Structure 1
Amino acid sequence: MSNSKIAELAAAQEKRKKQVETQTQANGRTILTTNRFLREITSDTLQALNAANDPPELFRAGSEIIRVSNNDEIEPVTVAALRGCMDRAADFMKFDRNGEPVPARPPEDVARDILSLPARKLPFPHLQGVRHAPLFLKCGRLLVVDGYDKGSGWLLRLRGLDGIKSNLPLVEARHWLDELLHDFPFEDEASKTHAVALLLQAFLRELIDGATPMYLIDAPARGTGKGLLADVLTSVPTGGDAAVTSLPADGDELEKRITSLLLAGRSHIQFDNVRRLRSAHLEAALTTLTWSGRRLGKSETVYIPNRATWLATGNNIELSDEMARRTIPIRLDAGVERPEDRAKFKHELPTWAYRNRPQLVSACLSVIESWIDAGQPQSTPTLGRYEAWAKVMGGLVGFAGYGGFLSNRKRLQGQADSETQEWTATVKIWWELHKERPITATDLFEVLKEHSLLLDLWGGRAKTGALQRIGHALSRKRDRVYGDLTIRTAGHDSLNRSNAYRLEPNGGGYHKTPETPNTPSAEPETTDFIDFSGNDATGGFEFDDAKTPTKPRKNPGQKTLNSIDLSGFSGISGVLKPPQPDEQSDDREPAIEVEEVF
């Protein structure tokens, strides 16, 4: 192309730019898309979006652009949604064949470029979350103005809350809380105190510098008011319902469900009609301030702040040991055969709670502000991994005059499922059969099959899969104490290429097998299986310890479950604990026939 032709094209382009600039001066939001670099169009588009984002509708969470939906849930901005925002923020123009500027659709590649930018290049304000009632910030300031607060990053949607106060006398404030809880049959003082803590937590969550446990609302029978209690305790701070969901049995599904609820910015997450709480994903969610999980329908991992209040409802819920440590009990017991037939309640709930929500919110704020003005006295009872929560919530409810904080948690040990009992029974049989002799997963598998123990661990699986799960379980249980015995590692079985484990008495209840007195013999003394070089011909165990184990006693014969004292144990894989008459069994899986599996 000749230099004159290039000059002619450049002059024409400059003329068209001036035409667009003239139009831009008229409305201030015109963006030319023809013959420009992508970065230039992106820069102009971000400026237009930022100028139009007042009051804020576009926010950022990390490097992701988000917005608040019509039902006040946080949702990611898609390419299509962003193009709509771009079109409302500026007039996009292009040149037609005659070189005249004409309207254009917002470029899709510009929208994708904006969505891929790192957080530092996004002009949108950070969104901490959406709340529907005033809340106290970490500094102690009460956030009460409807709308977005730039300093804290919180967006308040107060949903018609009028006449809110935070200076009610403490006696009057407590009166409102007691009226709300009047008709619920709490089993003990601690249960009512924990219900008050659940109600107040959402208003001062920012003052708790750490994770928070799950509130467990349970009862011996249906119709006692578990769901209703959860409704009124969550509706006061939210003005609506909590995010109520079932607890899926599949771990991957639970992970994605937790991720989606936290991404939506839910302040309360409730698992309803739970029969059993035992989940590694839920355990992790209750002990972390930043949740990492996979987004529903995608394989990408996202990182989300975890500031939700967690609760679960159910009848006589079974808990794993790990979940029992992460749970705060709220027990209801009407003491009648048919709790659902009760009548003559003082208040018609939840209608009364909705109608008096402004007074109830004022009561909550007044209790908290009085506690802050008093210097935030903290609680003496503590809870491992939740020390910050226990100090704040225990101090608050104690200041308000509610006693028994954490005093009913010992009952949770009785609700814990049979896992610990099964392992204790397993270890007891293991000791009876093998004493201190090292065994592998294969050896333990034979014990489990013989006595139908730990069926949840291996039942219904092929032998290879069962051995892998047993091996992993033994690895997790190393140095764990069961009764008077401790599971220890015992090196590596070089013949079977698997780790070995042994039992070690703790000094009580069980005693090491006495060594056989030396018998005079012309032959040198030998052992049955010990070779510290790992090359013995009777087992190939390589010991970690430098101490020679005691010579094991000969196995007197295979013991049966009836020949071993298992008093005090129950619920072993459903073998020693048959279903109760009032339990639902129509949806249970059929019992596993061990002989048919292997």
Structure 2
Amino acid sequence: MVHGAGDTESAKAKAARELHERHMAKQADKAAKAALAEQRRQQIEAQRNQRTGSSRPDIQLGTDPESIRAITRAINSRTLPDTYVRAGSVVVVETPSGAIEDDDEPAQVVNIVDPTRLARLLADTTYTYSVEKERLPDGSVEFIDVESTPKQHLAAAALSSARWDGLPVLHGIVTTPLFRPDGTLVQEPGYDEATKVIYAPKLSIDPVPDQPTEEEIQDAKTFLTGKLLANFPWVGPSRANYIGVLVAPLIRHYLGGVLVPMVAIDAASPGTGKSLLALIMTKVFSGHIRPWVSDDVELRKAITSILVDNGGAVVCLDNVGKGETVDQPTLSALLTAAAWSDRLLGASTSVRVPNDRVWMVTGNSLSIGGDNASRTVPVKVDARMPNPDMRPSSEFALGDLEEWLTDPANRATLLRHLLVLVRGWIVAGAKRIEIPMRTFTPWASATAGFLDWLGESGFMTNRDTLHEADEEEAQYGAFYAQWYALFGDERLTAKQLHDSTLPPIGAPFEERDRWHGTFLVRKKDGQTPSAVGLGKMLASEVGRYRGGFRLNGFFNSNTKVWTYSVIKNGDEIPEDAR
């Protein structure tokens, strides 16, 4: 049957129509995708333009090596604000939010930049990105910048360098003015290139003139000795010693960052004023006070924590326990170290920080032992009365000194007087008087000159009292004296000495102990050492002077045996003595 042309669509026409419809659909889809692609391109361009107008610098990450180099360049060019290098480590200076207001701590802190902190600094202050391919709806490809955080191992690799020539060196943060090596005074807040410190004042101080007048100098002297320190019951030259360490934070950088010995503030009884003397320094110089730690391992942890986490120029380890001896090897190492290295608690990384503090210990009837005795400035007060803490504040020129120090205006007055005195000494020629003190000789000689200019005499003439109060020194001194009384300068082996403690057979009771309780004992249990143990104790003392005697050691290369003798100070030392 043949249908009319208008009756139905032929198969051929239908196929043609469907083909056309598919084509048009494809064109429409292509146009839609092209429109979407164009829209995305415009978004990408807008994002780039927005970044162009941003103040945040760009850091492009790439392959691992490229990323490490890019991060290193960014750090070294100081792209990250407030960053410095301290003892080989990158650090950032920050002001914590919600910090407890404390006169004894700087408001700013120095934090080591680890990988986590670096990620946060990069996110806060830069646009750190990686370039990625993005396939657009129309099938084309665009390279887009995707904000990224460097992987942990890349950040750690970049920070592993110890050389950062592009970063300013930071020694620390101080809250008081200080003197530069040329004798000028840092009085403007901020980073000081000459001293490598940030001056962040907490007190409002009137400017100190380059040439203090005689009247200003005399007023400062009168205030210091006639008011502030007038009513402390000083023993011997302790006042001179204390003034010397009181100005140490101000002159340390002037002397080139020299090491300063430990200050031992000793009192005959509680309430005499030792804690007040420590408080003066910690209040004026934003110091840190913490309880004494006797265990050597725990002391090391405490020292590391203080140097890493706390600012200020003074650290006081307060109230050494009665009967304890300050002889910790860790403290000995600290006092002669310009930089302190240790492993961070709870971390697998080590830290190295400047040892830029003045260290103090306080206690009643202090005993300073080991190598610490030769690394200490002794300051002692003794009221020579019962209950010295009951003295009324009216007996003191400034009244209640602890309360007086709480007023920032009072602390500013004291600080300015100290600055005037130091500047006056520098203008007068910065006299030195040589005081041999091993590592601390530069500081001691300059301080002796300052005190002489000030009119304070006797500086460090009482340092022998440290050895007298040293239990170990006293023990060895008594041992050598009885050794000499029994044997003269006869040479004896450790076994012969040990056997001499055994009572002679049949000897009367009063003659059984020839040593009268002076023979060496082990520190750990107070018992007499074995002959081998005694030999080890003597070997470590050969050539050392204690209590007016010298221990000589002699080694027989044929028998491989050591013998020992003691001689009085000043006696001729045998040629074969070690």
AA at the equivalent of 1:409: R
Q: Which consecutive unaligned segments of at least 5 residues does structure 2 have?
A: 1-40, 97-106, 136-141, 503-512
Match of 1:398 in 2: 452
CA–CA separation in structure 2 for the residues paired with 1:383 and 1:186: 26
From 270, 275, 284, the equivalent of 1:222 is: 270
Match of 2:87 in 1: 62
CA–CA separation in structure 2 for the residues paired with 1:403 and 1:460: 42
The TM-score with structure 2 as length reference comes to 0.73
What secondary structure, in the 3-state scheme, does the structure 2 residue paired with 1:138 have? coil
> Shift of the alpha carbon at 1:302?
4.9
What does 1:46-125 align with in structure 2 at a 5 Å threshold?
A: 46=72, 48=74, 56-69=81-94, 70=96, 71-94=107-130, 95=132, 98=135, 100-120=144-164, 123-125=166-168
CA–CA separation in structure 1 for the residues paired with 2:500 and 2:417: 59
The TM-score with structure 1 as length reference comes to 0.71
Q: Which consecutive unaligned segments of at least 5 residues does structure 1 have?
A: 1-14, 513-543, 547-598
Q: Is the 8 A contact 1:427 1:485 kept in 2?
A: no
2:532 matches 1:459: no
2:172 matches 1:129: yes
What does 1:294-333 align with in structure 2 at a 5 Å threshold?
A: 294-297=343-346, 302-320=351-369, 322-333=371-382
After superposition, give the CA deviation of every residue in 1:357-391 in whole Å (9 maximum; x if it has no partner): 22212111111111111111223555454321222
After superposition, give the CA deviation of every residue in 1:246-289 in whole Å (9 maximum; x if it has no partner): 44333233233333333445421222112422122222322343
2:314 matches 1:268: yes
What secondary structure, in the 3-state scheme, does the structure 2 residue paired with 1:285 have? helix
Match of 2:217 in 1: 170
AA at the equivalent of 1:63: G
Match of 2:562 in 1: 500
After superposition, give the CA deviation of every residue in 1:329-374 in whole Å (9 maximum; x if it has no partner): 2221222100111112342223323331222121111111111111
CA–CA separation in structure 2 for the residues paired with 1:352 and 1:432: 59
What does 1:367-516 align with in structure 2 at a 5 Å threshold?
A: 367-379=421-433, 382-422=436-476, 424-425=478-479, 428-429=482-483, 432=486, 436-440=490-494, 444=497, 453-457=519-523, 459=525, 470-481=534-545, 483=548, 486-491=551-556, 499-503=561-565, 505=567
Match of 1:348 in 2: 400
> Shift of the alpha carbon at 1:438?
3.7
Q: Is the 8 A contact 2:370 2:472 kept in 1?
A: no
User: CA distance change for structure 1 residues 111 and 508 in 2, over 3 Å: closer, same or farther?
Assistant: closer
CA–CA separation in structure 1 for the residues paired with 2:79 and 2:224: 40
User: CA distance change for structure 1 residues 407 and 432 in 2, over 3 Å: closer, same or farther?
Assistant: closer
User: CA distance change for structure 1 residues 150 and 507 in 2, over 3 Å: closer, same or farther?
Assistant: closer
> Shift of the alpha carbon at 1:108?
2.8
User: CA distance change for structure 1 residues 179 and 62 in 2, over 3 Å: closer, same or farther?
Assistant: same
> Shift of the alpha carbon at 1:313?
0.9
Match of 2:242 in 1: 195
CA–CA separation in structure 2 for the residues paired with 1:143 and 1:423: 49
What secondary structure, in the 3-state scheme, does the structure 2 residue paired with 1:82 have? helix
Q: Is the 8 A contact 2:129 2:146 kept in 1?
A: yes
> Shift of the alpha carbon at 1:434?
10
CA–CA separation in structure 1 for the residues paired with 2:206 and 2:179: 17
CA–CA separation in structure 2 for the residues paired with 1:290 and 1:507: 37
Q: Is the 8 A contact 1:222 1:315 kept in 2?
A: yes
> Shift of the alpha carbon at 1:133?
0.6
Q: Is the 8 A contact 1:190 1:406 kept in 2?
A: yes
Range with bigger deviation, 148-157 or 71-80: 71-80
CA–CA separation in structure 2 for the residues paired with 1:312 and 1:38: 50
What secondary structure, in the 3-state scheme, does the structure 2 residue paired with 1:65 have? strand
Range with bigger deviation, 362-371 or 352-361: 352-361
CA–CA separation in structure 2 for the residues paired with 1:393 and 1:149: 24
Q: Is the 8 A contact 2:292 2:317 kept in 1?
A: yes
CA–CA separation in structure 1 for the residues paired with 2:51 and 2:338: 47
> Shift of the alpha carbon at 1:66?
1.5
After superposition, give the CA deviation of every residue in 1:537-569 in whole Å (9 maximum; x if it has no partner): xxxxxxx969xxxxxxxxxxxxxxxxxxxxxxx
User: CA distance change for structure 1 residues 105 and 448 in 2, over 3 Å: closer, same or farther?
Assistant: farther
What secondary structure, in the 3-state scheme, does the structure 1 residue paired with 2:462 have? coil
From 25, 33, 37, the equivalent of 2:63 is: 37
Q: Is the 8 A contact 2:478 2:518 kept in 1?
A: no
The CA RMSD over aligned residues, in Å, is 3.7
What secondary structure, in the 3-state scheme, does the structure 1 residue paired with 2:378 have? strand
CA–CA separation in structure 1 for the residues paired with 2:175 and 2:317: 21
CA–CA separation in structure 2 for the residues paired with 1:258 and 1:471: 34
What does 1:579-594 align with in structure 2 at a 5 Å threshold?
A: none
Range with bigger deviation, 292-301 or 65-74: 292-301
From 121, 133, 154, the equivalent of 2:197 is: 154
Match of 1:363 in 2: 417
Aligned residues: 486
AA at the equivalent of 1:480: R
From 240, 247, 252, the equivalent of 1:205 is: 252
From 269, 275, 280, the equivalent of 1:232 is: 280
2:68 matches 1:25: no
AA at the equivalent of 1:503: S
Q: Is the 8 A contact 1:321 1:417 kept in 2?
A: no
- Structure number with greater Rg is 2
CA–CA separation in structure 1 for the residues paired with 2:218 and 2:146: 69
After superposition, give the CA deviation of every residue in 1:478-503 in whole Å (9 maximum; x if it has no partner): 13345556331233696xxx752221
> Shift of the alpha carbon at 1:22?
5.8
What secondary structure, in the 3-state scheme, does the structure 2 residue paired with 1:80 have? helix
